[in-house]
Amino acid sequence: MAPLRGAVIGCGFFAQNHLHAWKDIADVEIVAVCDKDAAKAQAAAEKFGVPAWYDDAARMFGAVELDFVDIATTMPTHRALVELAAHHHVPTIVQKPFAPHWDDCVAMVAICKAAGIPLMVHENFRFQAPLDAVRKVLGEGLIGKPYYGRISFRTGYDIFAGQPYLMKEEQLVILDLGIHVLDMARVYLGEVETVYAQTQRVHPHIVAEDMVTLMLRHKNGATSVVEASYASRISPDPFPQTLVSIEGTRGSVQLLEGYRMRVTSDGETTEKNVSTPLLSWTSEPWHVAQESVLRTQQHWVACLREGRAPETSGEDNLRTYALVVAAYRSAAERRAVAPTR
């Protein structure tokens, strides 16, 4: 079978990981790249041996036969690009956050459904090896029925150096990072009944919140504390690790610094390292996050080939995005809020 013909739109900071990862998937050939900054598109084409580059997505869709498109631009552009892909009936994977506003997310899901194309959000925490290891422990029933969780991403790593646009966002840490952590709360403990959020802005030169503490009540009665911070001066700084602690009726599972996963089941405790080895294109401290890009893209390809819906479909991501919306409302109104979906 011929490899799937893909294109990448957006050749900026994080797309470099996408492009490396596509190279590692034998079943995919990236046949075009596009960036509105022509120099970036050309540089990506040269670096990754891509035969065609464009500085205009509409022109690219008109010129190239595609089996899918991978949109790795920042969120304000997602809706217009997804609409363009849907117009050309090209299956689409789009980076998180899905969009700046709820209505844009709903519109993208609807337009892809109407066009009959799959839409996946690149929610890569779902595919991150250490976070997946915790999920497997829960799935195997080793800790019994989970009733409490703490899922925490706190760092002082200078994310603004690589992503300076984040300094100007009007909604920052919940939408950019909390969205990943909230997604994992759903995965580990189920859908959410209410969200209570408190935000803080610590960094003096940014517009929006850089710290959030959330308390969730899940529909099955479990409680979780979800934390996201870009303003934590801690040592050692675990970036980009998510730390997890989940308690259940038979024991607990913890994801500790250094990618150590500790499981207590019926009184017996075991510990193992759940990190991933370095790939030719990954480096510390980002390597586990980078590797999750490869896993995310492998999932997308498997779903396309098998004709099944991706786990992090647009439809699924609406449920996570609804938690983000509820969190901002909760923080503004200082009360617990039920997500709308």
Cβ of residue 54: shortest distance to ligand NAD, in angstroms?
8
For residues 210 and 69, give the distance between their C-alpha atoms in angstroms, rounded to a whole number.
32
- Shorter beta-carbon distance to ligand 89V: residue 68 or 230: 230
Q: Does 69 bind ligand NAD (CB under 6 A)?
A: no
- Shorter beta-carbon distance to ligand NAD: residue 97 or 248: 97
* Binding-site size, ligand 89V (CB under 6 A): 6
- Shorter beta-carbon distance to ligand NAD: residue 224 or 242: 242
Q: Does 75 bind ligand NAD (CB under 6 A)?
A: yes
> Following CA atoms 238, 124, 23, 117 in sequence, which dihedral angle do they give, to the nearest 10 degrees?
-170
Q: Does 289 bind ligand 89V (CB under 6 A)?
A: yes
140 vs 83, 248, 261, 268, CA distance in Å?
40, 12, 15, 15
Q: Does 146 bind ligand NAD (CB under 6 A)?
A: no
Q: Does 295 bind ligand NAD (CB under 6 A)?
A: no
The DSSP-derived string for 6-54 is: EEEE--STTHHHHHHHHHT-TTEEEEEEE-SSHHHHHHHHHHHT-SEEE
Q: Does 176 bind ligand 89V (CB under 6 A)?
A: yes
Q: Does 227 bind ligand 89V (CB under 6 A)?
A: no
Q: Which of 19, 21, 117, 124 touches ligand NAD by CB under 6 A?
A: 124
Q: Does 177 bind ligand 89V (CB under 6 A)?
A: yes
Q: What region, left, alpha or beta, does residue 307 occupy, with left being phi > 0 and alpha being psi -120 to 50 degrees? A: left
Place of tokens 């409680």: 223
Taking Cα atoms as reference points, which of 42, 29, 21, 64 lies closest to residue 11?
42
Taking Cα atoms as reference points, which of 77, 92, 82, 87 lies closest to residue 35?
77
- Shorter beta-carbon distance to ligand NAD: residue 56 or 237: 56
Q: Which does 247 bind (CB under 5 to 8 A by kind): ligand NAD, ligand 89V, none?
A: none
Cβ of residue 30: shortest distance to ligand NAD, in angstroms?
15
Place of tokens 């066009």: 115
Judge whether 177 and 155 are in contact, CB under 8 Å: no
- Shorter beta-carbon distance to ligand NAD: residue 35 or 316: 35
Q: Does 36 bind ligand NAD (CB under 6 A)?
A: yes
Which part of the chain contacts ligand NAD (CB under 6 A), choosing from 11-19, 110-118, 271-279, 299-307?
Answer: 11-19
Cβ of residue 27: shortest distance to ligand 89V, in angstroms?
26
Judge whether 131 and 300 are in contact, CB under 8 Å: no
Which part of the chain contacts ligand 89V (CB under 6 A), choosing from 173-181, 269-277, 306-314, 328-336?
Answer: 173-181
The SS3 assignment for 334 reads coil
One symbol per residue from 160 to 199: x for binding ligand NAD (CB under 6 A), - otherwise; what is it? Answer: ---x-x----------x-----------------------
- Shorter beta-carbon distance to ligand 89V: residue 176 or 209: 176
For residues 261 and 271, give the distance between their C-alpha atoms in angstroms, rounded to a whole number.
6
Q: Which of 33, 72, 93, 151 touches ligand NAD by CB under 6 A?
A: 72
Q: Does 95 bind ligand NAD (CB under 6 A)?
A: yes
Cβ of residue 265: shortest distance to ligand NAD, in angstroms?
31
Q: Does 11 bind ligand NAD (CB under 6 A)?
A: yes
Q: Which of 24, 29, 77, 147 touches ligand NAD by CB under 6 A?
A: 77
Strand intervals (E) in the chain: 4-9, 28-34, 52-54, 68-71, 92-95, 119-122, 146-154, 192-200, 211-218, 223-229, 243-248, 251-256, 260-265, 268-273
In this structure, the chain runs to a length of 341
Binding site for ligand 89V (CB under 6 A): 159, 176-177, 180, 240, 289
